[in-house]
Amino acid sequence: MKVFVTAFAGVFVIVLAASVLYAFLLPEIYGSTVRIRLEPKNGEPYDPLSVLSEFDVIQSDAVLGQVVYELSLKSRWGRKYAHGAMLEESDAVRLLRRSIYVHAVRNTQLIELSSYSDDPDEAAGIANAIALAYLNHSRGIAKQTFATKTNGPVSTTRVEIIDHAVPVMEPVAPKKAWKIVGGAAVGIILGLGIGGVIGGIAFLLGRKVRK
């Protein structure tokens, strides 16, 4: 029994300590969200598929490239990720696209655009910049459409930013408490298993010695 308890405690402590260390070594990621409302113009009925089609526009090179330019992300992220070397625009756009998440709010005409960064201010700034670039891009497309259309009314989508992103000081990842609790659970399971095996071997060896 003593061997089992010793083995269990040793495994549990090692796994728990590793979980705590891992949780606190991971970089903290912050998220910030802007909400956008899409409304059809000219009395056209609302089409949920039109909301989904806007995802590609928001994440297009035209919109994200404008944000890269306005926020100087080629140089800013070059210092951060490329040892000071300025990034190519395509690389900056790709990093930007990977750092955002866009989804439709169910049964509404709303889009939520979330940006993630290790800096809460940067996360909020990027989310707001993308929303503004998308708004300006949509207005430009609408103007071009109305200017070139000659046979009847044109259906376009009105874009409105209803909630701007603000810095959120609570990180969205890692969830330190959950990782520690998970590590404790794994430690208990492994401790019971390994402790049981070692305890069983010790018991069998002890019987042979006594014989």
> CB atoms < 10 A from the CB of 177, how many?
9
Residue 96 near residue 64 (C-beta atoms within 8 A)? yes
Per-residue model confidence as pLDDT tens digits over 65-114: 999 999 999 999 999 989 989 999 999 999 999 999 999 998 888 999 99
Per-residue model confidence as pLDDT tens digits over 113-140: 999 999 999 999 999 999 999 999 888 7
Residues 6+ away with beta carbon under 8 Å from 92? 68, 73, 74, 77
Per-residue model confidence as pLDDT tens digits over 38-70: 887 666 666 777 777 888 889 999 999 999 999
- Return d(Cα 163, Cα 178) in angstroms, integer: 30
Omega into 153 within 30° of 0, i.e. cis? no
- How many CA within 13 A on the CB side of residue 184? 6
pTM over 0.85: no
Nearest CA to 117 out of 88, 90, 82, 81 is that of 81
